[in-house]
């Protein structure tokens, strides 16, 4: 038991380190947006418990608040490194949870290893989601799909599933999209241990709703359904299969390039879907559930928070790096369909056709992951935390009556600043 626990901890650390290394040196020297401007600032001013139920953007953020509390326990000069480490640890945790909790549906270790690796290497995550606790909830919601679809027998896995679901539900109200899986659990499962994760979902969701119902997000005109569905096609399946750079290049090119992008994506997903449909019932239903959840996790948040940058009107203005965070969960859940198809093809081995089809799918996704390990767009660079902190310390020393000082952070130092009490700087 102890050896297995150490191995899993090592896997979490390794996966987290791989995720952390996706940040360039310039990105690693700054703090990203809400990490400093909202969560660290609130932690330094009010502490964890006072800020926990404080809504931001209309909802509760347990995971980022925890990350800020951990950063507060270390010297302030380490804040950017500690926050990035916490965010990377969440990625590692979700990768390991995905690999473990998918075992009941995906017996192949190779398929589960690929699925877990995708959590760490997902190209689109490199723009906004990697290295900052503010976007940890996207990974947690994707892992919660497997936590709620699983029926683990080991106590450690039950605890892992419950922890992932609590963190997700208490960090983002969109986790409620997974409620149908909870209903299925209630209808089909009878053992008490099977409902630990059910209780975790219920408790986390109740805490989240208590905060959400007390806030007002305001009303915005909804986008046209065709715009949302077009954005889904481009930002989820096409971008997943081809990678952000290749997808953007082909889709902003001539008609032949756009047709090629759509055709390659359609072939890959068709192979996976047909293979999963021909497999046993466990693969059919998990593939369908993943595909439907993928669509829901894109349509719901994008409809509620539509921004012009989400438009995928084909042309030079297409920018897949913008608001890319909305694509993380849908892409990871669409990979459920791909993984189910790969499992079905593995079950057919040593059929040459099955192995060939599986190899093509894996190679395409691997090429996408490798090319997107560190995105080519410099969207995460910003002011150095060390330099900004030193300037803030000087301001506080020059003015003994000063209560706090601002430290500029990424992506826009004019808009995003961490407020640091002078008592922590003198």
Instruction: Label residue 277 exposed, middle or buried (CB < 10 Å: 0-12, 13-18, 19+).
Output: middle
pLDDT tens string 57-110: 889 999 999 999 999 999 999 999 999 999 999 999 999 999 999 999 999 998
d(CA 254, CA 142): 35
Cis amide bond preceding 350, omega within 30: yes
Cβ atoms within 10 Å of 240's Cβ, excluding its own: 28
Looking at residue 221, its pLDDT comes to: 77
d(CA 202, CA 207): 9
Looking at residue 266, its pLDDT comes to: 93
Secondary structure, 3-state, 126-150: HCCCCCCHHHHHHHHHHHHHHHHHC
Lookup result for tokens 């090119």: 253
- In this predicted structure, the answer to whether residue 37 has a pLDDT above a threshold of 90 is yes
Span 214-222, average pLDDT: 71
Looking at residue 6, its pLDDT comes to: 82
CA angle 379, 404, 171 (to 5 degrees): 50
Looking at residue 316, its pLDDT comes to: 63
SS3 107: coil
d(CA 44, CA 67): 12
Span 329-350, average pLDDT: 91
Looking at residue 355, its pLDDT comes to: 66
Structure confidence at residue 376 as a pLDDT band (50, 70, 90): low
Looking at residue 205, its pLDDT comes to: 96
Looking at residue 357, its pLDDT comes to: 67
Structure confidence at residue 218 as a pLDDT band (50, 70, 90): low
Strands 417-421 and 404-408: antiparallel
Looking at residue 390, its pLDDT comes to: 95
Q: What is this structure's pTM? A: 0.93
Closest to 204 measured CA to CA, from 152, 148, 156: 148
- In this predicted structure, the answer to whether residue 132 has a pLDDT above a threshold of 60 is yes
pLDDT tens string 286-329: 999 999 999 999 999 999 888 888 887 655 667 777 888 999 99
Bridge partners of 389, per DSSP, are none
Q: In the chain, pLDDT over 70 holds for what percent of residues?
A: 94
Q: Quick one: how far is CA 382 from the chain centroid?
A: 22
């Amino acid at each position: 038991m102890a050896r297995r626990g150490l191995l899993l901890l090592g896997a979490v650390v390794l996966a987290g380190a791989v995720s952390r290394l996706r940040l360039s040196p310039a990105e690693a020297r700054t703090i990203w947006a809400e990490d400093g401007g909202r969560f660290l600032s609130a932690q330094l001013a009010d502490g964890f418990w006072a800020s926990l139920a404080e809504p931001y953007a209309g909802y509760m953020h347990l995971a980022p608040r925890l990350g800020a509390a951990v950063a507060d326990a270390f010297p302030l000069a380490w804040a950017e490194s500690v926050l990035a480490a916490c965010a990377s640890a969440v990625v590692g945790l979700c990768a390991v949870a995905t690999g473990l909790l998918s075992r009941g549906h995906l017996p192949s270790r190779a398929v589960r290893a690929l699925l877990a690796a995708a959590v760490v290497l997902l190209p689109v995550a490199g723009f906004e989601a990697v290295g900052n606790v503010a976007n940890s909830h996207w990974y947690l919601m994707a892992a919660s799909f497997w936590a709620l679809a699983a029926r683990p027998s080991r106590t450690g896995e039950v605890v892992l599933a419950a922890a992932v679901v609590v963190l997700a539900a208490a960090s983002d109200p969109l986790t409620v999209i997974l409620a149908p899986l909870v209903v299925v659990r209630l209808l089909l499962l009878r053992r008490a241990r099977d409902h630990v994760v059910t209780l975790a979902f219920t408790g986390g969701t109740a805490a989240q709703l208590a905060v959400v119902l007390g806030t007002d997000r305001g009303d915005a005109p909804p986008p046209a359904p065709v715009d949302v569905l077009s954005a889904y096609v481009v930002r989820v399946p096409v971008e997943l299969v081809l990678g952000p750079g290749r997808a953007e290049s082909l889709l902003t090119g001539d008609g032949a390039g756009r047709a090629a992008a759509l055709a390659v994506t359609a072939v890959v997903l068709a192979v996976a879907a047909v293979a999963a449909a021909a497999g046993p019932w466990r693969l059919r239903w998990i593939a369908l559930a993943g595909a439907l959840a993928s669509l829901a996790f894109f349509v719901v948040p994008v409809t509620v928070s539509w921004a012009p940058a989400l438009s995928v009107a084909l042309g030079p203005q297409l920018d897949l790096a913008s608001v890319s965070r909305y694509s993380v969960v849908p892409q990871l859940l669409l990979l459920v369909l791909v993984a189910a198809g790969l499992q079905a093809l593995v079950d057919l081995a040593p059929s040459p056709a099955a192995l060939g089809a599986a190899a093509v799918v894996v190679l395409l996704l691997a090429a996408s992951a490798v090319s997107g390990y560190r995105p080519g767009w410099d969207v995460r660079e910003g002011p150095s935390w060390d330099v900004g902190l030193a300037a803030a310390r000087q301001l506080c020393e020059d003015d003994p009556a000063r209560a706090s000082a601002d430290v500029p952070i990424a992506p826009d130092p004019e808009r995003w600043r961490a407020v640091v009490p002078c008592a922590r700087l003198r």
